[in-house]
């Protein structure tokens, strides 16, 4: 829709820039301007200014700039026409329609909003009626209380071909409007139209202004499809909207956190737990939806179910998002434990369980690296060249040249590290050594205990081999430790790649037992590494990690080894920090702290020697 300059100037004059912004930002008057904390990025010192005379706002921290229309667009995630309509409504101006066709579309949209609202209210009333008993029982079984049902306006469509059609027809609601709104289906053979949603729990889909514009229906009992969404209509294009937008937007901006998941119940469960969440509507994330999500937070977290479908969804999302990356704009990825979705995980472990998983989210670079390298043979120069060629071809698809350049650097660094050492188990631990200071590296070379940390044959490698070997020999342990295994810090590139392949195989249902898992990993190119870990010549010290250990011993030993791995890893980082502090300030206090941390770390390492004998008789 086109707006005249005169009409837009009238909106700007009536809206009042400072007054409108003050609804979102606490402003302090400074001379002829106002200042406050920028609503578009986190800051502690005000860098956001509002100039009422000139009619614009500007942030000297992040560069945000615009007029009152732009402010409404950015803070409420509206398109330009939507922002203009919102402001015009607030200041009492009638939005002009510039042509007969636009006037007709505007009139139809007003009528359609009324129809979808009436349908939403009718579905809600049907849920409360005797006909909604089975639907109420289903929702109660999913843990939803009355407040949640009312908050999300969940309803019920009775198993009737003409229930909604009969209830809504009349009083200006025509059959044509019901069809256009996607609520009725017209058979091609000329028979009478009938209700699209029948025998289903109804989840209204709201637009960015919180208006019901479409519906998703979950069937009760057997039948297909399990979920049915409204078709595209003048009010609803499923590739443009996401479920949960109006419910999650404010909290997402306040916390700079947003989880993107796969279903209605997942979104509802996360929002109830205080975690802002949204979901695409029955399809993979579209480019338009990704751009809209980036206007809310810079790095949304994509959380996918821990099954084969979830793994495929993660891959599709990464591939589609990669060309769109921009400075500061990306996605992070979380794979839930096998058999879990956000709804079940929150109900079982609460908000903290999901938040701890979100904290382990992997960056886009890791996901793309895995897509191009996992299971690829790199034992010849030609094969290594092919891996590099594939990675660089992927990187060249990034439209933003600055981001593209940084990805080239990052992937070339990873390639150098990955190709630097191909011993079958030890892999590359150079990152752990490089992360320490010069004094730490000297100590690593000279201290009889600490010198084993970070070296190729040291105890850290032994722990990592044990952790991976335990799961190879006892894949059923993933029922209990999948989350911890997936999040464990593993410095060896090859072992880390194998660990990721194990998680993927389990998600694909290819880890029923050790033999099946080994076969699956062999098909992915890890046969030699698996043989080196758990074959006849495998060098794994802890007996709990071996095939003959009982499940209880394997589980107990795994958890002890992982706990020690975390504690010793944290101890070395603390040791480096203490060394740096002592180098800057060689006080008695810093010296005492350094010696205490060293003694504690040595005690941990002494305990590790006993752990390696766990389960032996």
Give me 188's structure tokens.
Answer: 């091609």
Percentage of residues in the chain with pLDDT exceeding 90? 37
pLDDT over 90 (residue 542): no
pLDDT at 192: 93
Is 329 within 8 Å of 296 (Cβ atoms)? no
Band (pLDDT 50/70/90 cuts) for residue 538 is low
Which stretch, 13-27, 105-119, 465-479, has highest mean pLDDT?
Answer: 465-479
Burial class (CB in 10 A: 0-12, 13-18, 19+), 455: middle
Q: Supply the pLDDT for residue 446.
A: 39
Is the pLDDT score of 438 beyond 70?
no
Lowest-pLDDT choice from 188-197, 288-297, 453-462? 453-462
Question: Whole-angstrom Cα distance, residue 253 to residue 250?
Answer: 5
What is the distance of C-alpha 252 from the center of its chain? 13
**Which range (46-50, 329-333, 504-508) has the least confidence?**
504-508
| Residue 92: per-residue pLDDT | 78
The answer to whether the beta carbons of residues 239 and 283 sit under 8 Å apart is yes
DSSP 8-state symbol, 512: S
Digit-coded pLDDT (tens) for 175-221: 999 999 999 999 988 899 999 999 999 999 998 778 999 999 999 98
Between CA 226 and CA 292 the distance in angstroms is 28
Work out the pLDDT band at 616, boundaries 50, 70, 90.
very low
In the chain, what percentage of residues exceed pLDDT 70?
81
Domains of the chain in sequence order:
5-91 (3.90.580.10), 100-229 (3.90.980.10), 241-419 (3.40.1360.10), 430-611 (no CATH)
Whether pLDDT at 570 is above 50: no
Q: Indicate the burial class of 377 (C-beta count within 10 angstroms; 0-12, 13-18, 19 or more).
A: exposed
For residue 268, what are its two tokens? 């509802």
Task: Give me the count of residues in the chain.
Answer: 617
CB of 302 closer than 8 Å to CB of 331: yes
| Rounded CA separation 605/133 (Å) | 61
Which residues 6+ apart lie within 8 Å of 567 measured at CB? 604
Q: Which secondary-structure segment (H or E) carries 127?
A: helix 100-128
CA distances from 488 to 482, 483, 499, 567 (A): 10, 9, 9, 12
Q: What is the pLDDT of residue 264?
A: 94
CA distance 492 to 541: 18
- 231 versus 548: the higher-pLDDT residue is 231
Please indicate whether residue 571 or residue 371 has the higher confidence score (pLDDT).
371
**What b/e sequence results for 193-223 when a residue is b if at least 16 CB atoms lie within 10 Å of its CB, and e otherwise?**
bbbbbbbbbbbbbbbbeeebbbbbbbbbeee
pLDDT given at position 357? 86
Distance, in Å, from the CA atom of 574 to the CA atom of 570, rounded to the nearest integer, reads: 6
Question: Mind listing the pLDDT tens digit for each residue in 364-393?
Answer: 999 999 888 877 777 788 888 999 999 999
Q: What would the pLDDT profile of 250-264 be if each residue is shown by its tens digit?
A: 899 888 999 999 889
Whether the predicted pLDDT of 434 surpasses 80: no
pLDDT of residue 340: 83
- What is the rounded distance in angstroms from the CA atom of residue 380 to the CA atom of residue 161? 65
Dihedrals phi, psi of 136, to nearest 5 degrees? -65, -40
Which residue in 51, 66, 58, 54 sits closest to 18, CA to CA?
A: 51
pLDDT given for residue 110 in this prediction: 60
Residue 559 has pLDDT above 80, yes or no: yes
- Confidence band of 52 (pLDDT split at 50, 70, 90): confident
Report the range out of 75-79, 232-236, 604-608 with the highest average pLDDT: 232-236
The arithmetic mean of pLDDT across residues 412-433, rounded, is 56
State CA 107 to chain mean position distance.
Answer: 39
> What does the DSSP assignment read for 475-508?
GGGHHHHHHHHHH-----HHHHHHHHHHHHHHHT
pLDDT at 248 over 70: yes
Mean pLDDT of the chain: 82
Residues 6+ apart with CB under 8 A from 428: 417, 418, 420, 421, 491, 492, 493, 494
Per-residue confidence (pLDDT) for residue 610, from 0 to 100: 38
Query: How high is the pLDDT of residue 144?
Result: 95
Helical axes 438-446 vs 551-584, angle rounded to 10°: 130
The set of long-range contacts for 604-610, using a CB threshold of 8 Å and a minimum separation of 24, is: 604/564, 604/567, 604/568, 604/571, 605/449, 605/450, 605/452, 605/453, 605/459, 605/568, 606/449, 607/564, 608/459, 608/463, 608/564, 608/568
Q: pLDDT tier at 441 (50, 70, 90 boundaries)?
A: very low
Per-residue pLDDT, averaged over 565-593, amounts to 62
Between 46-50, 274-278, 449-453, 583-587, the lowest mean confidence (pLDDT) is in 449-453
Asked if 540 and 534 touch (Cβ cutoff 8 Å), the reply is yes
How far apart are alpha carbons 67 and 36 in whole angstroms?
16
What DSSP state is assigned to residue 397? T
- Give one DSSP letter per residue of 518-578, joined into a string: HHHHHHTT-HHHHHHHHSTT-----GGGSTTS-HHHHHHHHHHHHHHHHHHHHHHHHHHHH
pLDDT at 428 over 50: no
DSSP one-letter code for 243: B
Q: What is the pLDDT of residue 540?
A: 55
Helix 527-534 and helix 459-473: axis angle, to 10°? Answer: 100
Specify burial of residue 112 (Cβ count, 10 A radius: 0-12, 13-18, 19+): buried
Strands 48-51 vs 33-36: parallel, antiparallel or unpaired: antiparallel
Token pair listed for 376: 């690829």
Joined together, the tokens standing for residue 3 give 């707006």
pLDDT at 363: 93
Residue 202: closest CA among 256, 243, 249: 243
- Which one has a higher pLDDT value, 272 or 188? 272
Binned at pLDDT 50, 70 and 90, residue 432 comes out as very low
């Amino acid at each position: 829709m086109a707006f005249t300059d005169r009409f837009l100037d009238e909106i700007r004059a009536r809206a009042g820039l400072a007054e409108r912004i003050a609804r979102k930002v606490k402003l302090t008057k400074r001379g002829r301007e106002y200042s406050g904390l920028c609503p578009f990025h986190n800051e502690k010192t005000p860098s956001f200014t509002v100039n009422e005379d000139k009619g614009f706002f500007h942030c000297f921290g992040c560069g945000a700039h615009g007029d009152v229309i732009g402010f409404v667009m950015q803070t409420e995630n509206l398109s330009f026409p939507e922002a203009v309509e919102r402001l015009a409504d607030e200041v009492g101006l009638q939005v002009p329609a510039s042509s007969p066709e636009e006037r007709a579309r505007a009139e139809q949209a007003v009528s359609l909003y009324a129809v979808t609202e009436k349908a939403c209210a009718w579905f809600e009333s049907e849920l409360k009626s005797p006909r909604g008993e089975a639907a109420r029982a289903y929702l109660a079984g999913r843990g939803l209380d009355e407040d949640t049902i009312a908050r999300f306006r969940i309803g019920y469509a009775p198993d009737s071909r003409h229930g909604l059609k009969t209830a809504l027809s009349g009083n200006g609601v025509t059959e044509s409007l019901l069809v256009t709104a996607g609520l009725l289906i017209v058979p091609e053979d000329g028979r009478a139209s009938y209700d699209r949603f029948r025998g289903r729990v109804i989840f209204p889909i709201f637009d960015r202004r919180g208006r019901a514009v479409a519906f998703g229906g979950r069937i009760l009992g057997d039948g297909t499809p399990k979920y049915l969404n409204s078709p595209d209509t003048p009010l609803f294009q499923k590739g443009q909207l996401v479920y949960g937008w109006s419910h999650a937007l404010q909290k997402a901006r306040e916390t700079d956190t947003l989880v993107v998941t796969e279903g209605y119940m997942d979104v509802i469960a996360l929002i109830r737990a205080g975690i802002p969440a949204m979901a695409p509507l029955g399809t993979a994330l579209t480019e338009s939806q990704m751009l809209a999500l980036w206007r809310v937070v810079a790095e949304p977290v994509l959380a996918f179910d821990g099954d084969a479908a979830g793994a495929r969804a993660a891959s599709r999302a990464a591939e589609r998002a990669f060309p769109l990356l921009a400075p500061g704009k990306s996605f992070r990825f979380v794979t839930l434990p096998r058999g879990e979705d956000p709804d079940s995980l929150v109900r079982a472990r609460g908000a903290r369980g999901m938040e701890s998983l979100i904290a382990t989210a992997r960056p886009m670079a890791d996901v793309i690296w895995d897509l191009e390298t996992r299971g690829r043979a790199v034992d010849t120069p030609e094969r290594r060249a092919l891996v590099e060629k594939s990675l660089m071809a992927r990187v060249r698809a990034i439209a933003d040249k600055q981001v593209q350049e940084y990805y080239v650097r990052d992937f070339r660094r990873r390639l150098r590290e990955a190709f630097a050492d191909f011993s079958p188990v030890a892999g590359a631990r150079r990152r752990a050594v490089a992360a320490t200071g010069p004094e730490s590296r000297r100590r690593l070379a000279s201290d009889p205990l600490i010198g084993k940390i970070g070296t190729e044959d040291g105890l850290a490698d032994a722990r990592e081999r044990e952790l991976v070997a335990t799961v190879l020999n006892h894949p059923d342990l993933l029922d209990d430790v999948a989350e911890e295994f997936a999040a464990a810090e593993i410095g060896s590139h090859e072992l880390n790649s194998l660990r990721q392949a194990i998680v993927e195989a389990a998600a694909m249902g290819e880890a029923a037992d050790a033999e099946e898992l080994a076969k699956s990993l062999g098909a992915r190119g890890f046969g030699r590494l698996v043989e080196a870990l758990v074959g006849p010549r495998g060098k794994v010290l802890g007996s709990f990690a071996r095939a003959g250990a009982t499940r209880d011993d394997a589980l107990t030993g795994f958890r002890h080894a992982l706990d020690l791995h975390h504690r010793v890893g944290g101890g070395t980082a603390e040791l480096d920090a203490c060394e740096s502090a002592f180098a800057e300030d060689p006080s008695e206090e810093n010296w005492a702290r350094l010696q205490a941390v060293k003694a504690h770390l040595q005690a941990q390492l002494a305990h590790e020697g006993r752990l390696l004998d766990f389960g032996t008789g």
